[in-house]
């Protein structure tokens, strides 16, 4: 087994463990490279099927290409695709692009709040109807008690302290200092009513591993990751008002891999193009509050 085989096997094991133990399970799909690899790993784990609903939080400020890619893949791979949103904040224009909040507050409203209430089932969910090929209001209102998330330990500090199976209490709070032990491959799969668990199958992957795997498996990804002639590419995808590309000549998967291996980007944070991270408190503040 090479190192990608090992990473794949561990992620598959974690996904199967989650599927076995959690009755109400969903997987967050941000459309980015990491969670798309995770979705692919689910197809590995379940032999081409994806028996877990995919949840996307639509801020309605996503780069349009992301949304068309999402819907195309959802139909092609026969996914149980669900999206949620913060309709109230969008309608009352409580957003950064509307000039009414700072970036972090905008993230909190459009992502953290939307996520929290979509997972709990309090806010409407929209499900892809494969017959109609469009989204319809979802009947399901049950809260998801197991949430699979594609965070990686090498992304930034707070994520490196995560466990594969990480409990959150009723208010989504993460107690970093007192986490359950993970012995060998035995994880926390028992949880008290009212609490829920976040599951992190990609914790051990690095940015380079992700691209190597995408290349090996030929996984389709959004073309925004490549330099398409402008001399720039996106390294991390988000909402267009707050996401900037990095200077790069990489036009293909192999060129991205070479670029990462060259160390040219090693001094630049992967999320440096994500403007909200550099505001006060940044990602750790967001994550404590339930951000992924």
Partner 1 sequence: MMNGRAQMNIVIVGHVDHGKSTVIGRLLADTGALPQGKLESVRESCRRNSKPFEYAFLLDALKDEQSQGITIDMARCFFKTAWRDYIIIDAPGHIEFLKNMITGASRAESALLVIDIDEGIQENSKRHGQMVSMLGVKQVTVLVNKMDLVDFNEKVFEKLKADYSDFLAQIKVKPVSFIPVSAREGDNIATLSERMPWYRGATVLEQLDLFVSDKQLQDKPFRFPVQDIYKFTRENDDRRIVAGTVAAGSVKVGDEVLFLPSGKQSAIQSVESFNTAPKQLASTGDATGFTLTTQIYIRPGELMVKPSEPLPEVGTRFRVNIFWVGRAPMILHKEYKLKLGSARASVKLAEICNTLDASDLSYSKNKHQLDCRDVGECILETSRPIAFDPASASETTGRFVIVDNYEITGGGIVLENLSADETLLQRHIREREHNWEKGLIKSEERELANHHKAKFIAFTGLSGTGKRSVAKALEQGLFKNHLVAYYLGVANIDRGLDADLGYHVDNAGERLRRIGELARILTDAGLIFITTIDDADDYDIETLKQLNEPSDILVVNMGENSFSRYHPDLQLPVGVSVSDAVKEVASMLKTKEIIIEYHI
Determine, following the binding rule CB under 8 A, whether residue 154 of this chain makes contact with partner 1: yes
CB of 100 to partner 1, least distance (A): 26
Among 143, 257, 264, 288, the residue binding partner 1 under the rule CB under 8 A is 257
Is residue 110 within 8 Å of residue 90, measured between CB atoms?
yes
Is residue 104 within 8 Å of residue 286, measured between CB atoms?
yes
Among 96, 270, 275, 292, the residue binding partner 1 under the rule CB under 8 A is 270
Cβ proximity to partner 1, 3 vs 93, nearer residue: 3
Residue among 160, 182, 178, 159 nearest 169 (CA): 178
* Segment interacting with partner 1 (CB under 8 A) among 99-107, 108-116, 139-147, 281-289: 281-289
If one counts every other C-beta atom within 10 angstroms of the C-beta of residue 78, the result is 12
Determine, following the binding rule CB under 8 A, whether residue 78 of this chain makes contact with partner 1: yes
Sign of CA pseudo-dihedral 141, 200, 272, 30: negative
CA 265: distance to chain centroid? 22
Cα 36–Cα 248–Cα 250 angle in degrees, nearest 5: 60
CB of 124 to partner 1, least distance (A): 26
Q: What is the DSSP string of 209-269?
A: HHHHHHHHHT----GGGS--SSSEE-SS--BGGGB--EE----SHHHHHHHHHHTTTTTS-
Cβ proximity to partner 1, 22 vs 123, nearer residue: 22
Residue among 18, 38, 19 nearest 28 (CA): 38
Is residue 24 within 8 Å of residue 146, measured between CB atoms?
yes
# binding residues, partner 1 (CB under 8 A)? 67
> Scanning residues 200 to 239, which ones bind partner 1 (CB under 8 A)?
204, 206, 212, 215-217
Contacts of 178 (CB under 8 A, 6+ apart): none
CB of 35 to partner 1, least distance (A): 18
Determine, following the binding rule CB under 8 A, whether residue 43 of this chain makes contact with partner 1: yes
Determine, following the binding rule CB under 8 A, whether residue 85 of this chain makes contact with partner 1: no
Determine, following the binding rule CB under 8 A, whether residue 244 of this chain makes contact with partner 1: no
Among 24, 120, 145, 179, the residue binding partner 1 under the rule CB under 8 A is 179
Determine, following the binding rule CB under 8 A, whether residue 63 of this chain makes contact with partner 1: no
DSSP structural state of residue 144: P
Residue ranges binding partner 1 (CB under 8 A): 1-6, 8-10, 12-13, 16-17, 19-20, 43-49, 51, 78, 153-158, 160-161, 163, 179-188, 190-193, 204, 206, 212, 215-217, 257, 261, 266-267, 269-272, 277-278, 281-284
């Amino acid at each position: 087994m090479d190192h990608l085989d090992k990473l794949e096997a561990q992620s598959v094991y974690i996904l199967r463990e989650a599927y076995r133990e959690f009755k109400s399970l969903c997987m967050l799909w941000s459309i980015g490279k990491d969670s798309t690899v995770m979705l692919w790993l689910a197809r590995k784990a379940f032999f081409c099927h994806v028996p877990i609903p995919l949840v996307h939080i639509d801020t309605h400020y996503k780069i349009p290409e992301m949304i068309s890619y999402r819907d195309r893949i959802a139909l092609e791979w026969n996914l149980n695709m669900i999206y949620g949103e913060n309709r109230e904040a969008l309608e009352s224009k409580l957003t950064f692009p509307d000039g009414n909040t700072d970036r972090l507050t905008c993230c909190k409203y459009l992502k953290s709040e939307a996520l929290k209430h979509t997972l709990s089932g309090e806010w409407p969910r929209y499900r892809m109807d494969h017959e109609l090929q469009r989204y319809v209001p979802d009947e399901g209102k049950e809260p998801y008690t197991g949430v699979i998330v594609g965070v990686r330990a090498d992304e930034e500090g707070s994520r490196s302290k995560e466990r594969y199976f990480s409990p959150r209490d009723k208010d989504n709070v993460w107690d970093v200092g007192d986490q359950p032990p993970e012995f060998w491959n035995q994880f926390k799969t028992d949880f008290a009513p009212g609490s829920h668990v976040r599951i992190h199958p990609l914790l051990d992957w690095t940015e380079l591993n992700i691209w190597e795997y995408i290349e090996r498996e030929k996984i389709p990804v959004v073309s925004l990751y490549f330099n398409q002639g402008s001399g720039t590419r996106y390294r991390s995808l988000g909402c267009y008002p707050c996401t900037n590309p990095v200077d790069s000549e990489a036009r293909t998967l192999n060129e991205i891999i070479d670029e990462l291996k060259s160390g040219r980007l090693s001094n630049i944070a992967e999320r440096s193009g994500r403007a909200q991270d550099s505001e006060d408190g940044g990602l750790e503040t967001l994550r404590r509050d339930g951000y992924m």
